[in-house]
A and B are shown apart, each in its own frame.
Chain A
Amino acid sequence: MTYPFVSLCISFCLGIFVAETFRLSFFLLFSWAFLFLLLSILFINKSLTFKIFILAAVFFLGAAILRNAQTLPSSHMAKRIPFKSDSVFLIGVIESDPMDQKRNTSFILRAEKIKENGVWKTTCGKVLVKVFAKGDFSYGDRFFFIGKVYRPFSFSKDFDYRKYLAHQGIYSILSLKKGSSLKRLSQNAGNPLKAFSFRIKHKIRNVIVENLSPFCAGVLNAFILGDRQDLPRYIMNVMVNLGVVHIIAISGFNVGIVAFILLLVLKMMRIPRRPRYLLAIFLLILHCLLTGANAPVVRATIMAIILLMGFVLEREVHVYNSLALAALIILVLNPCQLFGISFQLSFLSVVFIVIFTPKIESLFPKTLKAVPWIRFFILTFSVSLAAWAGLLPLIAYYFKIITPIAVLANMFVVPLATMIIIAGLSLASLGILVPHLAPILGASNEFLILLFFKINYLLVQIPGAYFKLPQIPFAVVLLYYGLGLAGFFMVSLFAKRRSYR
């Protein structure tokens, strides 16, 4: 069994990392990638030499792709207004689902034209628009604005907001105070499929808001639609302290449950194997659009599609290979994602779950595993412990917290969260099709969400549930993973030798 994509992915990631650390020119990186690709063609028949050259080519390719992604065209908004500018005349199309917050409405605008010295000039790039006035905004609307444009600035020592937005391709913010000029020029200038998905999303949101209390509606919106604007801040803090915040952020966990439910329902409908997987892939893409196609959902959807395609093609699915391929695709599309916390957390958690769950499980005696409910308990514990151990240094580095309670919390919270997502999706789908059923489903959702938070509050009060830490150096994180990897290989080697004897 071989995992070609794993080594290619590691090499590609290293290339991106090096390009971010050292400011090397695009042409230098491109030339090295070209040279090594040429050498790999010349030595295509020599296995070892080819491996070395192709890995080097992929390394420099990753670096060149990052440098290319960081290079902005001369017409880009960030080049036209590098720092700050008053009263900018701008035309653009709304590219995201507008988010209504207490004081403002925000959305991402795809800039098209900007007025410079009285002349309209073509421009490009994404702009984060913050409107501090009432207005009716929808995805796909083409708007004319007069407002202040400025470069994002970091308002906290611990969080680089400018870098965070830059990784999403946003380099400018347009602020529109009360009384600013804005005018809708046209509608439906966006992707029709995305517009359709947002319409369904709004319908689902209405069903949820109409049938649940404001608190539960805010939680369920975060669970199944990824809208976190109505989620109280203290709830987020409780979940961070428990180490279960991944549940509330729509991510691989949610997409996995949605895929599981879809496959189950399609199986119940007696749809044959291959069409069932193809239909599930289509519905997952629709779900991805429905949740606004943000980076974590796109990532999880790509991972799920690659795994499902293995079943469609009736090929043996290798999790490591599929994961590495998904990571490669995501990073080729946007190499900046490698530096995103969610990318690192989601891939590392899956890798650690896949590697360590069977090893932890094997530590329990076989007699215990013979009892079904104990086996389920052992499996949940093993998954939870593997994910916790894998993410421990990263969470300590980024969030300055260690959450020993997370192992226990995940065992209770994950099954309950699964039930909430199932109930929430039932409310969303049946609430639209059969509105009379919505109040009943709403009541069950309400009960499950309240139970979920009661358990969370109980767990977070246990002494020693979490410890706040000072900032740890990144070298400690690298040391942890280095030692972990070395330990894993040594144990595997030892086990292999013992089995030969």
Chain B
Amino acid sequence: MLSLTKEERLTLVCLGAVLLLGILANYLLKVNPASKKFFNSASDEVPRHLKVDVNKATYDELLSIPYIGEKIAESILKLREEKWRFTDLSDIRYIKGVGKFKFSIIEKYLTIGP
């Protein structure tokens, strides 16, 4: 009844492993809200060393961030000069060309240094 080739057996085992891992992650997310942090950091959060200090960033560093083009990078630098330094990242939201969605991505790559 369960005659399988070696390839089929491998596929079955892999499928089982993926399913098992999936339900473990799902279960942990349900019973332990702290594990949400781990899963969010794996998918959403940008590692600390990849974040750019918006008060020290150069033009090229700003350009390396997704959704920041030449115009937005120039506007950020100009705003920084005007304000002397950023105290709140949401100030970037008011730059022309930075919408709600774009800002939600950009802010993950930026930080305000000491």
A73–B20 CB distance below 8 A: no
Q: Which of A43-51, A90-98, A136-144 contacts B (4 or more CB under 8 A)?
A: A43-51
A3–B20 CB distance below 8 A: no
Say whether A30 faces chain B, with CB atoms less than 8 Å apart: yes
Chain A nearest Cβ from B99, distance in angstroms: 19
Say whether B31 faces chain A, with CB atoms less than 8 Å apart: yes
Among B23, B29, B33, the one with the most A-chain Cβ atoms within 10 Å of its Cβ is B23
Q: Inside 8 A of B6's CB, which chain A residues have their CB?
A: 44-45
Contact residue among A8, A26, A72, A73 (Cβ-Cβ distance under 8 Å from B2): A8
Say whether A33 faces chain B, with CB atoms less than 8 Å apart: yes
Q: Inside 8 A of B12's CB, which chain A residues have their CB?
A: 8, 54
Say whether A81 faces chain B, with CB atoms less than 8 Å apart: no
A37–B30 CB distance below 8 A: no
Q: Which residues of chain A from 18 to 41 have any CB-CB distance to chain B below 8 Å in the complex?
A: 26, 30, 33-34, 37, 40-41
Chain B nearest Cβ from A65, distance in angstroms: 6
Chain B nearest Cβ from A315, distance in angstroms: 14
Q: A3-B1, A4-B1, A6-B1 are in contact. Are A50 and B20 (CB under 8 A)?
A: no
Chain A nearest Cβ from B1, distance in angstroms: 5
B24–A30 CB distance below 8 A: yes
Q: Inside 8 A of A6's CB, which chain B residues have their CB?
A: 1
Q: Which of A56-64, A253-261, A487-495 contacts B (4 or more CB under 8 A)?
A: A56-64
Chain A nearest Cβ from B28, distance in angstroms: 10
**Smallest CB-CB separation from A58: which chain B residue?**
B16
Distance in angstroms between the alpha carbons of A73 and B34 in the assembled complex: 12
**Smallest CB-CB separation from A3: which chain B residue?**
B1
Contact residue among A3, A54, A65, A74 (Cβ-Cβ distance under 8 Å from B9): A54
**Smallest CB-CB separation from B26: which chain A residue?**
A68
A71–B2 CB distance below 8 A: no
Distance in angstroms between the alpha carbons of A41 and B10 in the assembled complex: 8
B13–A37 CB distance below 8 A: yes
Interface size on B, residues (CB 8 A): 22
Contact with A along B1-44 (1 / 0, CB 8 A): 11110101110110011011001101101110100000000000
Chain A nearest Cβ from B93, distance in angstroms: 22
**Smallest CB-CB separation from A54: which chain B residue?**
B12
Q: A50-B9, A61-B16 are in contact. Are A68 and B23 (CB under 8 A)?
A: yes
Chain B nearest Cβ from A427, distance in angstroms: 44
Distance in angstroms between the alpha carbons of A51 and B33 in the assembled complex: 38
Say whether A217 faces chain B, with CB atoms less than 8 Å apart: no
Interface size on A, residues (CB 8 A): 32
Name the prevailing secondary structure of the B interface residues: helix
Contact residue among A45, A57, A75 (Cβ-Cβ distance under 8 Å from B16): A57
Contact residue among B8, B9, B20, B26 (Cβ-Cβ distance under 8 Å from A34): B20
Q: A44-B10, A45-B6, A71-B31 are in contact. Are A61 and B1 (CB under 8 A)?
A: no
Distance in angstroms between the alpha carbons of A68 and B21 in the assembled complex: 12
Say whether A2 faces chain B, with CB atoms less than 8 Å apart: yes
Contact residue among B2, B24, B27, B30 (Cβ-Cβ distance under 8 Å from A2): B2
Contact with B along A62-86 (1 / 0, CB 8 A): 0011001001111100000000000
**Smallest CB-CB separation from A124: which chain B residue?**
B30
Q: A37-B16, A64-B23 are in contact. Are A51 and B2 (CB under 8 A)?
A: yes
B29–A73 CB distance below 8 A: yes
Q: Which residues of chain A from 175 to 213 have any CB-CB distance to chain B below 8 Å in the complex?
A: none
Distance in angstroms between the alpha carbons of A68 and B1 in the assembled complex: 29
Q: A55-B2, A65-B19 are in contact. List 10 more A-B contacts (CB 8 A).
A: A30-B20, A40-B9, A40-B13, A44-B9, A54-B2, A54-B9, A71-B27, A71-B30, A73-B31, A73-B33
Those 3 A-B pairs whose CB atoms lie nearest each other, nearest first: A73-B30, A2-B3, A68-B23
Please list 30 pairs of residues, one from A and one from B, whose beta carbons are closer than 8 Å in the complex, sorted by A's number: A2-B1, A2-B2, A3-B1, A4-B1, A4-B2, A4-B3, A4-B4, A7-B2, A26-B27, A30-B24, A33-B16, A34-B20, A40-B16, A41-B13, A44-B9, A51-B2, A54-B9, A61-B16, A64-B20, A65-B19, A65-B23, A68-B23, A68-B26, A68-B27, A71-B27, A71-B31, A73-B31, A73-B33, A74-B31, A332-B19
